[in-house]
Every structure is written in C-alpha cells, then in structure tokens.
Chain A
Amino acid sequence: MATTEMNVKRITRTDHLLSPPEPSGSDEGTNVSGLERTVSVLAGSAVTLYGLRRGGASGLLVSLLGGAALKRGLSGRCDVYAALGVSTAEEGAGRGQGLSLGARRTIDMSAAATVRNSADELYRLWKDPQNLTRFMTFLDRVEQISDTRARWWLNAPVGPVLEFEAEVIDDVAGERIAWRAVEGAMIEHTGEVEFRPAPADRGTEVRLTLHFRPPGGAVGAALLRLFDGAAELKLRGDLKRFKQWVETGEVATTEGQPSGRA
C-alpha cells in the first residue's frame, strides 16, 4: 500500500516535466547556481529578520522560511529542485540563464493530513468553496460562476491581491476534486485534493497537491524559487487548519490575545 502511494506521488511529481535535465556532475549535491545562491543567502537573511521582527505565528513561519532559503543558499542545494530533478548549477548557468531555465518548469508541492471524519463528509465540505475561506489564510473570497467555475481572490501579506478563475476538471464523489486555472490566469496552476480511507477506521487521508507554472520574467521566477519551500509549508498549514476546523469546530489561534508588546 505504502509503496503504491510513493509511486503515485512520484508520477504526479514528474509527469509535468517534459524532459528533466540530468543533474550535472559538478559539485556533488549542489543543484543551485552561484548567482542564485547569493540571492538566496541575502534574501534568506532579510526574510528571517523580517519574520522575527514581525512576530506572531506568521512571523515565525516567515522567519523559518527565510532560514530555509538561507540554508539553500549556503549549501547550494534545494530540496525542491532535487525532487523535480532540476538543476541550475550546470556549467555556464550563471548570469540570468540559470534563472530562466527554472522559470519554464513546473513547481509541484503537496501536503497530507489524516482527519477523523469519513471521506464522504470531507469531500462534501471541500466541495463548497466558501468553506475553504475558513482555513486557507490567504484566501480572501470565492465567487461561484457556474457548477464548475469559480473566481478566487488571494490576499497574501505582501504584494497585490491576486485574482484568478479556476474550473473543476475532475470530480469523483467522496474521492477527489481536481481543478485548473483557466487560460491566461495570473496564477497558472492545477490542483487536486484526494480523500482516501485510512486503515482500521482511523479516518481519511487527505492529500492536497498543487502544480505551479511560475509567471514569466527572471524576477518572478527568482522570487518564486526563493519561496518554493515556503509555499509548501503554507499549504501544509492550510491543510492542518482544515483538519482543526473539521475535528474541533474551530481553527486554533492566538490572534488577538494580550501580550506585553506595545
């Protein structure tokens, strides 16, 4: 059973890559180019400090992510690249070339949680997009356009409000819902949520998967790369909040509690 899942995961992770380049034989374990490493170190340090100053749950998360970028820069190794079979560390890959190479690739991320409720119940809750605003922190609002189409507004702590239209492309009651952003959307992606019964009545394994195509331009690609680990952790957080909401009726929070901070 476990082996099957691993294989399934590997297939979904790679089937979007047309022809992943073999990592070069240069520095062993290094898959991030020199320029990118410098950017990772500088931006990672800044993000870490920003997160620490900002404080709160989100600040802590931000600082951890900054730390991940810092580590990536110092070590020259990016786990997400490794998982994708991508390397920007090849000979002559510096000076922007490395950046644009990665920019055309898909970035895949996934999160999993076991929730006590039945697959049918979880599927039904997920089916109504209004419910998603309860636990997806950056999701501002959703407007249903038709049975299969909806318009989404994302409001991240930095940057503009992002808006896109998505359509359901696969829907199996009690098992899975898959969607994709419609042509020309600001955030080009496909996504999928699956519900599988856990063994021995332990509830349902929920797996959320997203495949992003980074927006064009070297800056956008570099930024997205810096935050690729961050986005996956964010996804994991959202799924945990879904579980909290379903299992306890509320989402755990400390937002609004007193402290001795001015």
Chain B
Amino acid sequence: MKALCWHGATDVRVDHVPDPTILNPRDAIVRVTSTAICGSDLHLYNGYIPSMRSGDILGHEFMGEVVEVGREVKNLKTGDRVVVPFPISCGSCFFCGRQEWSLCDNSNPNAVAAEQLWGHSPAGLFGYSHLTGGYAGGQAEYVRVPFADVGPFKIGNGIPDDKVLFLTDIFPTGYQAAEFCNIQEGDTVAVWGCGPVGLFSIASAVMLGAHRVIAIDRFPERLAMARKLDRVETINYEEIGNTLDIVDLLRDITGGRGPDACIDAVGLEAHGVGLEWWYDKAKQSVRSQTGRPIALRQAIMACRKGGTVSIPGVYGGLLDKIPMGSAMNKALTFKMGQTHVHRYLPSLFERIERGDIDPSFIITHRFPLDKAAEAYHIFAQKHDDCVKVVLKT
C-alpha cells in the first residue's frame, strides 16, 4: 500500500510499504477514505518530538471502512464506516474506567520508555513517535486499529467524510479545551492560536455560552476565519507587541480583570516578537529547551485571578521561564492533556447531525494521498493561506 513515511526533519515521503495485518485478537484493519494532517504532525515534521525513526508512518486523524476484524471484535463487521479516535484505549483499565481515555494504562508497548521521560506513560497514539507506542498511523491506504472494539465509532452513509473526519481529534480537542474552562455566564475566553484546534476551541467556547471570545494569532486569514464565528473579536499580536503589551491590552479590554479563561492552542512551536522570541528560538535550536512556550507565558500572565489556563497545545519535554509566580499568586487552575476523544465523540456527532456545527468550515486544501509530501510543505510554511489539509486515498 501507499503510506506517508517520516524520514527525518522536513523529510516525509509517500512510500510503498506492506499492507497491515491483524496482530492481536482485538485489532481491525480499516481502509482509509479520508485522513488529515494535524498541526501536531508539524511538530514531528519539524523534528521536535523525540524517538521518531526513519520510516515511521504518520497520521492520527483518519476514517474509513472496516475491511477485517480480529476474532475478539464483536461490535464491528466488514463494510462498517468508522471514525477512529487518535488515542488507543483498552476500555478496561483504571483510567479508561474513569473516561480518561488518553491515559489508558495498557495501550503503549513502550510505556517503560515513556516513564523514563514523563514519570508515567499516557495511552498509545497513532503515528506519533515511539514514546507513545510507535503505532503506524493513518496517512496511508490501510491502517491497523488496536482495541477496535473500543475506539472506532460507527457512522451511517448519509453524511460526508468532511463533516465527521475531525471527530477523530481536533473537534473534540477544541471542545475539551473549552469544557476545561468551566465557562460561566458573562465569561470572556481568550484563545491563543487560530489554527484548527484554536478555531474549534473558539467555536466550542461559544457553544458553551462564553459571553465573548478573544482570538489571538498573526495570520490575517486565520483571524478572519475566527471573526466569522459569533461573539469573537481578534487580535493580531504582531501589531501589538511583546508579551507585556499583549497582557496590558487584554487587561485593558476586559475592564482591568483579564480573561476568565485562557486557552493555549499553540503549543511548543509558538512564535512571538522581540527579544523573547529570539531567546526561545536560540534555546530551542541548541536543545536547551524542547519548546518555545511564548503563548503559554502570555496565557498565564493575562489570565484573571482565580481563572483557568487550558492547554490543548502539545508540549513534549522541558520549558524555560514559565511564570509560576504569576500562576501561584493568582491562584490559577491549569487543565491540560491529550484529548479523551472517546468521551466526546457521540455527543459531538449529534451536534453535527443536528446542524449545530459543520466542522468542514476549516478545510482549505484537499490533496490525494500521493501528494502528501507537498501538502506537508504547504501546511508547514502556511503557504496559500493553508489552515487544514485533507488527504483522500
């Protein structure tokens, strides 16, 4: 089959590889019909996530048709149309029992290695480095889905791929980020990053009753997409200045209080302006920190006293100059984590069916899988106002 393989920083290629096979009784094989490139795939593409190996198949946002099931998979059959959550969850451990699906205790074959780096191991993930299991991803014609009796969510034929594909990750991820904010009547939510996760965080914050959402980015086309949503104002931070300027502005436009909740939908490759930006860039390039936490610093500093900082953005290792003094003295609550996709999938699917939201609004580019390498390049460079790429097999 054809599959998009990682061969090194900024080097991905569509290779011919063997077809996947059933390896465990609870596996299924899915023929991929649509798959997307996630912003977090760009962290892999740019070489910032450790434990990648040349030849790894990427992709954790995919859907398709079941073509084979293992002997213990009783709830799926050949021909079923499914969307597949990006965390792999066993459904029977302590964490899955608590609906904390992305913390599954049993799905990461490399859990011991993850413990060395993080203390404990989260769930295995599709196509996202060997620390989270080294599972082959779904930017391919076929993919093996472990614990297929737990993850895949069946969808009828009446609704197009584009509307349901993002149930695999970014829609639930944005929704969870907004839910973490515990939005109360009259609340203002500030969102750093207007990429796909930022846009779904914004849309979800509005759905959950935010009085006002302030979206922060530097790309006019992304800010324009955010502004189309109800109750959203935007800030182009490049026109404002550095962290202190942003914090001053946010304090000022919220009557001196600051946003009630701040969402960092940027993660470890944040951009900024001035000295801070160059400092982080230099430190990251010599690997004395593994992320550039500019958005996170701003979110902490800007958040109102007693507010919530919600972090759907991905971090992998160590960060520098995190204003813990601000966080502690302002009594902030931090909420974060990989998304418990299984928890949100059914209710968000209902919202799509009801017409509350059509997630396909973020798609700007479509390519055949053959052109995936080119698609990564365009997305990484944000050429051609690229916000979200869908690959068709």
Q: Do B94 and A255 touch across chains, with their CB atoms under 8 A apart?
A: no
Q: Do B113 and A252 touch across chains, with their CB atoms under 8 A apart?
A: no
Complex: A177 Cα to B6 Cα, angstroms = 47
Complex: A250 Cα to B93 Cα, angstroms = 13
Kindly provide the distance from the CB of B95 to the nearest chain A CB, expressed in whole angstroms.
Answer: 11
Q: Do B24 and A253 touch across chains, with their CB atoms under 8 A apart?
A: yes
Interface segment among A55-63, A79-87, A93-101, A142-150: the answer is: A55-63
Q: Do B19 and A114 touch across chains, with their CB atoms under 8 A apart?
A: no
Evaluate whether A64 and B113 lie within 8 angstroms (CB atoms) in the complex, with A116-B93, A248-B106, A250-B24 already known.
yes
Q: Is the CB of A257 closer than 8 A to any CB of chain B?
A: yes
Kindly provide the distance from the CB of A24 to the nearest chain B CB, expressed in whole angstroms.
Answer: 30
Q: Is the CB of B107 closer than 8 A to any CB of chain A?
A: yes
Kindly provide the distance from the CB of B193 to the nearest chain A CB, expressed in whole angstroms.
Answer: 31
A-B pair count, CB < 8 Å, reads 111
Q: Do A244 and B106 touch across chains, with their CB atoms under 8 A apart?
A: yes
A260: B residues at CB distance < 8 A: 3, 5-7, 13, 15, 17, 54-57
Evaluate whether A259 and B92 lie within 8 angstroms (CB atoms) in the complex, with A252-B109, A254-B136 already known.
no
Q: Do B90 and A248 touch across chains, with their CB atoms under 8 A apart?
A: yes
Complex: A252 Cα to B110 Cα, angstroms = 9
Q: Is the CB of A151 closer than 8 A to any CB of chain B?
A: no
Interface residues on B, range: 35 or more
Q: Do B106 and A247 touch across chains, with their CB atoms under 8 A apart?
A: yes
A61: B residues at CB distance < 8 A: 110, 112-113
Q: Do A55 and B53 touch across chains, with their CB atoms under 8 A apart?
A: yes
Q: Do A257 and B144 touch across chains, with their CB atoms under 8 A apart?
A: yes
Within A228-257, the residues touching B (CB, 8 Å) are 233, 236-237, 240, 243-244, 247-257
1/0 per position for B1-45, CB-CB distance to A under 8 A? 101011100000101011111011110000000000000000000
**What residues of chain B have their CB less than 8 Å away from a CB belonging to chain A?**
1, 3, 5-7, 13, 15, 17-21, 23-26, 51, 53-57, 72, 90-94, 105-113, 115-116, 124, 130, 133-136, 140, 144, 146-147
Given contacts A254-B23, A259-B53, 13 further A-B contacts (CB under 8 A): A60-B51, A233-B112, A244-B106, A247-B93, A248-B26, A248-B90, A250-B26, A252-B106, A252-B124, A252-B133, A258-B1, A260-B13, A260-B57
